[in-house]
Amino acid sequence: MRAFKQTFWLTLIKLGIFITILSLCLFLFLIFTKGGKVISLSFLFEPPKEGMTKGGIFPALIGTLYLTLGSILFALPIGILAAIYLSEYAKPSVFVSAIRIAIKTLAGVPSIVFGLFGLALFVNFFGFGVSILSGALTLGILILPTIINASEEAIKTVPQDFREAAYALGATKRQTIMKIVLPTALPSVLTGAIISVGRAAGETAPILFTAATFYTRRLPKSILDEIMALPYHIYALMTEGTAPKFQVPIAYGTALVLLLLVLTINLVAIIMRYRIRRKKKW
């Protein structure tokens, strides 16, 4: 009986691993075979043509780059400042607990809700319209909790020894943070930030009402222009297309490009993390 239980248990574990690997392989196989056919240099660098039945995805690619870059420019400084407050200044209190709960809650909010929030606040209230700015700000708020958490963790791993050494030399708290703590934590902070960039690049819902447009041939001239983006382009091709026979393959091609983009971003983060660990001697 015992032996049977043991075998049963092991089989169950192996099955779990098998299903995981199988679905990942199937997923990659499907995206690569279906998307691989349409991918070419001109697919990457040409705008869509003839009602999006031909041509490439260049404006969407550029749009996604702008949106993610904008979101990180907005979220990184704010996230780092918040993390400094939480890890270096905040003393346990009801107020600080409330902030922490708020950050956790923010991290759990469905992304479509962020989309509606961005529409109400940035598009309408601030009057930025449907634009790169509105979309980047909405995405920025979406990734803010991740950046705060990653930064706080990174700041916490800076050894107390370094802070003591700085104080003992006559440094103020601000100098200690700016010149010792933050530079030491920065590589890990950036690793966390890069991972959230990957997240921002793939999100559709937050930009649905705030930044994305169905179709444009021209590239944006200012941050108040609306823009195409890879995830939304897929959505548009699959739901609003008039010629699915031509448009579905393009959607898969776009999906593959998006997938490769996110994988590359994550790979950069992994390599950075590896190098930090190897270099770290304290």
Return residues touching another protein (CB under 8 A).
159, 161-162, 164-172, 175, 179-180, 183-184, 281-282
CB of 156 to another protein, least distance (A): 16
Nearer to another protein, 127 or 170 (CB): 170
Residues whose CB falls within 8 Å of the CB of residue 49, separated by 6 or more in sequence, listed in order: 55
Q: Rounded to the nearest 10 degrees, how much is the dihedral formed by the CA atoms of 129, 132, 138, 143? A: 180
In the complex, minimum distance from the CB of residue 176 to another protein, in angstroms, rounded to a whole number: 9
**At closest approach, how far in Å is the CB of 172 from another protein?**
6
Q: How many CB atoms lie within 10 A of CB 196?
A: 27
183 versus 244: smaller Cβ distance to another protein: 183
Q: In the complex with another protein, which residue's Cβ is closer, 17 or 168?
A: 168
**Which residue from 261, 252, 265 is spatially nearest to 32, judged by alpha carbons?**
252
Q: How far is the CB of 196 from another protein (least distance, A)?
A: 25
Residue 151 beta carbon to another protein: minimum distance, rounded to whole angstroms = 18
Q: Choose among 248, 254, 207, 205: nearest CA to 233.
A: 254
Q: How far is the CB of 7 from another protein (least distance, A)?
A: 51
Asked if 241 contacts 52 with a C-beta cutoff of 8 angstroms, the reply is: yes
Tokens representing 174 are 């601000």
Spatial neighbors of 23 by CB under 8 A, at least 6 apart, are none
- Considering beta carbons, is residue 32 or 162 the nearer one to another protein? 162
CB 275, min distance to another protein, A: 14
Q: Is 164 or 240 the residue whose CB approaches another protein more closely?
A: 164
Which CB atom, from 16 or from 159, has the smaller least distance to another protein?
Answer: 159
Nearer to another protein, 131 or 188 (CB): 188
